[in-house]
Structure 1
Amino acid sequence: MTFADLGLSDELLRAVTESGYDTPTPIQAQAIPSVLMMRDIIGIAQTGTGKTASFVLPMIDILAHGRSRARMPRSLILEPTRELAAQVAENFEKYGKYHKLSMALLIGGVSMGDQLAALEKGVDVLIATPGRLMDLFGRGKIMLNGCSLLVIDEADRMLDMGFIPDIEEICTKLPAQRQTLLFSATMPPVIKKLADKFLSNPKSIEVARPASASTNITQRLVKVDSRKKRDTLSKMLREADVTSAVIFCNRKTTVRDLNKSLQRDGFKSGEIHGDIDQGSRIAELERFRAGTVNILVASDVAARGLDIKGVSHVFNYDAPWHPDDYVHRIGRTGRAGASGVAYTFVTEADAEAIDNIQKLIGTKIEVVGAADVVASAEPVRDELARAPRGRGRGARPAPVEERPSAEIEQPTPREEKAREDRPRDNGQREDRSRDSRPDRTTSAAPPRRRNDQADDGPDDGWNGPVPEFLNFGFTQ
């Protein structure tokens, strides 16, 4: 089957061909004809399956006929994060270059005035995060009664971030007679209830078992002592055939500390987390794409939507607290038919998290000991051990057995759940409260710089980098 068999227009087929694609993925082959027939869709697909193009391509043909009006978008795509919204916008830019369609991003972190100006001109496609959309709707700056096509993307991520009430309210503002497309990697009961309420006789498309991992990815659990995580990681990065890697941590403080440690060890690494400003985020991702750095240390903000070709390895430095995040983390490798390797470091405290992951994916992951992957710590390694943070440059490093652990104390799943239950905006407002109890790791932590920000738990609120084409309209 080719894209020409799906009923797309000649202009769209030309753009697809020029983008280097000729054969649709399974979800594209099943979804595109149904969307063109104006049916509601429930699409269940794991990351990296070409889900975005499965709704972008037919939307372009559907919207090719008709005119947009000021402040009344003709279609709406809801995304949980700025990163994902930006990538959808890039898809419209790439595939819609032979159509006279206008597009706007309605997301946080950029000037509201520029977004209002784009809306005043009228847009065919509005790509938005729920928080900013509800904000402008409440101000009377946007009307949704002309929107005939709604896409709810990454619905399970919307649930994780607390956006489901906003989505339900948005749906009530849209015309009753509309086409609705819902896509999700998993289908928890809340999302199923949402679909039953707002979709009309939808066609269900499932191209992979919910929350299943790609068969192109070799998965391994590495049993390791929490005090030797960094040494084990450094040894694996040196001895394994790592061309490029994404290393995931649960907390922003761990991301920062681990990146500094890798750089001291001579690795070309960078970091991505929610405390980095927008310009730096964009620059860091571009450095990684260009190969200037080949190791990216990241929090879960990069687990979804980060589409970079050629990532050979994923390392879960911390086992994810939520099973779904495991699937999205390792999905950064093994994309577009390529093979990849995913290692997850496992300590004694991670037993419950690993059990939940294996139940979710329905597969037992092979367990290997750290000694099976790299050699045990040797005397030569002890001689090269870094001095504990907080000492002077010339200070003599303490013996390994006397050094306090530099690992960040992980909150329990119950504490993590309490954090997630707090109200959030569209990923911008973060809980800045600090535990008043003294941190037992302060003796090993560096003196806080003036511009350092306090760690505030899991970093699932960053909305990703914003592209340069924020108010982009398609040209001929």
Structure 2
Amino acid sequence: MTNRASDPMPAAGFASLGLDARVLAALTALGYEEPTPIQRAAIPLQIAGRDVLAQAATGTGKTAAFALPLLQHLRTDAPPRERTSALVLVPTRELAMQVAEAIYRYGKSMGVHAVPVYGGTAIDGQIRQLKRGVDIVIATPGRALDHIRRKTVHLQGIRTVVLDEADEMLDMGFADDLEAILAETPAEKQVALFSATLAPRIMAIAKSHLRNPELISIEPEKLKAGKAAKVRQVAYIVPRAHKMAALGRILDVEQPESAIVFCRTRTEVDELTETMNARGYAAEALHGGLSQDQRDRVMKRFRGKTTDLLIATDVAARGLDVSHVTHVVNYDVPNASEAYVHRIGRTGRAGREGTAITLAEPREHRLLKSFERATGRPVEVAPVPTVADLKAARVEQVQEKLRATILDGGLEDWRRIVAGMATEFDPMDIAAAALKQGATPADEETEIPAGPPAREKHPARAREDVKKARTIARGAKGGGMTKLYVGAGRKLKVRPGDLVGAIANEAGVDAATLGTITIFDRHSIVEVPAAAADDVLRAMAKATIKGKKILVRRDREGS
């Protein structure tokens, strides 16, 4: 086994990694500028056909580290039954969907067909997709083994197997499944194993199934303890469709003196800059598509405090040193913990306190844990400010401005106007009218939903789900809750997130409407809105938790 450290590797663009023109064109179209350390280390090795054993935590950009080489190794001339060239094994359905979406985006122009298969949903639809021919299968171990035994996943053409978050799969009890799956794959294949730790069980799998692998270790950078203590870290869970509105709302409430907003791609930088300017902020874009003169002019205005928001990609903001930044915003959750640390390090300088804000999509919630480990500080998960919160914040801001104006003096000319009108109107009404003229009406704002974003559905099914969601919401507001007994607990390593995810995904219930979740050794009790209880019971009768069919019924001790 060869050990390869990532630290000495110089920064380089994707073009230097050996990727072909089709893959590079896709990355350019998406606005990606710079690979992360795990991508720089792992991509060239996999393109060269080497087995890889990579220690990399969630949030380091490892999905692209194995997805891009898979695209380059696609079989374009094979018949449907031999077309599948890669199998990616992941621990959870959420990660399966995330990886499939990433591969789709990277390989869209190449016509790549990647299918996620996982438990907890009907297998018939997956079989129909697989029969049409698929390039890459992304699967949870239990469902992958099910398809292999049914002979609906064909492994004879497999060139590469990826084990993503291998330690998590072992923790979930999939060791035997992994061995059974790997035994069914061709002997001559490339294997890439990614794990947050290199525990003895991981090393045993590597010894059995990897051939002279390159060992890559990516250690997340940590903020110094004193530095981290000065940065308040807060995250908001927001569906992608509402991120721009949520950012505007959060900034209106936070009122940063000076902020840097980080986006993943140039396209997002440009779109967000336009939106924030339309909202009344002085926003400037900074990315690799600008000339050096343009960058210099943008930075001069930002340092001179004539710009409220600097909206930038990581590459463009590298080395940026501005002491007056009060807020850093991760509009996109960064691909790597190192990137997160670098970003939030732009605030809290010169002994001042700073705030780091992250807008995470529901499925990215678990990445926040890796950021907590990297910084050694908690990330507070807060609700997106409501319209009422916005109104209260604006009232407080107006009051502060009025106090400052009164203390500054120089109001004689304005006093004469008020005195002249006071013979006709109440002075309180005059002052209120003056404030109303300069106010931004919060009543025009709409509430921003929280919870998991809806997957694309048939329009009729979507309308039914909207009606059901409204009924459930009315029931929850009315206070009616029903306790459900779930026949799985700590013995099966069930966590609250497992139960929330299963109910939200299978029954279409907004996670925010669920009540108390109590986990015992052999069972759990979950409170759901009474209006949704029957729907949850029907959906969960067909679902699995931790890969097992679980009894779910109304709790006999009270509901």
> Structure 2 CA distance, aligned partners of 1:47 and 1:31?
15
2:341–2:374 contact (8 Å) kept in structure 1: no
Match of 1:167 in 2: 178
Structure 1 residues 68 and 53: CA distance shift in structure 2, 3 A: farther
SS at match of 2:58: coil
Which runs of 5 or more structure 2 residues have no equivalent in the other structure? 1-11, 251-263, 269-310, 312-326, 346-354, 358-368, 379-477, 479-487, 507-516, 538-543, 548-559
How much has 1:190 moved relative to structure 2?
1.1
> Structure 2 CA distance, aligned partners of 1:100 and 1:51?
22
Structure 1 residues 449 and 97: CA distance shift in structure 2, 3 A: closer
- One of 414, 418, 432 as aligned partner of 2:491: 418
Deviations 1:205-244 (A, max 9, x none): 11216xx7577996569xxxxxxxxxxxxxxxxxx977x6
2:167–2:202 contact (8 Å) kept in structure 1: yes
How much has 1:158 moved relative to structure 2?
0.9
Deviations 1:69-109 (A, max 9, x none): 23762210111112211221222122212323322111234
Normalised to the residue count of structure 1, the TM-score between the two structures is 0.53
2:530 corresponds to 1:449: yes
Match of 1:97 in 2: 108
Structure 1 residues 178 and 150: CA distance shift in structure 2, 3 A: same
How much has 1:418 moved relative to structure 2?
3.2
Match of 1:379 in 2: none
1:74–1:125 contact (8 Å) kept in structure 2: yes
- One of 64, 78, 81 as aligned partner of 1:53: 64
How much has 1:7 moved relative to structure 2?
1.2
- One of 113, 129, 141 as aligned partner of 2:152: 141
- One of 51, 63, 84 as aligned partner of 2:95: 84
Q: How many residues align?
A: 310
Letter in 2 for 1:102: H
Match of 1:298 in 2: none
2:348 corresponds to 1:338: no
Letter in 2 for 1:94: R
> Structure 1 CA distance, aligned partners of 2:41 and 2:338?
25
- One of 22, 34, 43 as aligned partner of 2:54: 43
SS at match of 1:84: helix
Match of 2:294 in 1: none
How much has 1:35 moved relative to structure 2?
0.4
Match of 2:239 in 1: 285
Normalised to the residue count of structure 2, the TM-score between the two structures is 0.45
> Structure 2 CA distance, aligned partners of 1:363 and 1:103?
35
> Structure 1 CA distance, aligned partners of 2:28 and 2:215?
28
Larger Rg: 2
Structure 1 residues 6 and 13: CA distance shift in structure 2, 3 A: same
Letter in 2 for 1:54: A
> Structure 2 CA distance, aligned partners of 1:15 and 1:218?
38
| Greater RCO (CA < 8 Å, at least 6 residues apart) | 1
> Structure 1 CA distance, aligned partners of 2:140 and 2:47?
25
> Structure 2 CA distance, aligned partners of 1:332 and 1:3?
19
How much has 1:202 moved relative to structure 2?
0.5
> Structure 2 CA distance, aligned partners of 1:19 and 1:216?
36
Match of 2:296 in 1: none
Structure 1 residues 25 and 114: CA distance shift in structure 2, 3 A: same
Q: How does 1:103-118 map to 2 (within 5 A)?
A: 103-118=114-129
Q: How does 1:383-402 map to 2 (within 5 A)?
A: none
1:43–1:184 contact (8 Å) kept in structure 2: yes
Structure 1 residues 44 and 116: CA distance shift in structure 2, 3 A: same
| Root-mean-square deviation (Å) | 5.1
Structure showing the higher helix proportion among its residues: 2
2:228–2:376 contact (8 Å) kept in structure 1: no
Structure 1 residues 447 and 37: CA distance shift in structure 2, 3 A: closer
Deviations 1:6-59 (A, max 9, x none): 111111111111211222221111111110111100111122221111111111
Match of 2:20 in 1: 9
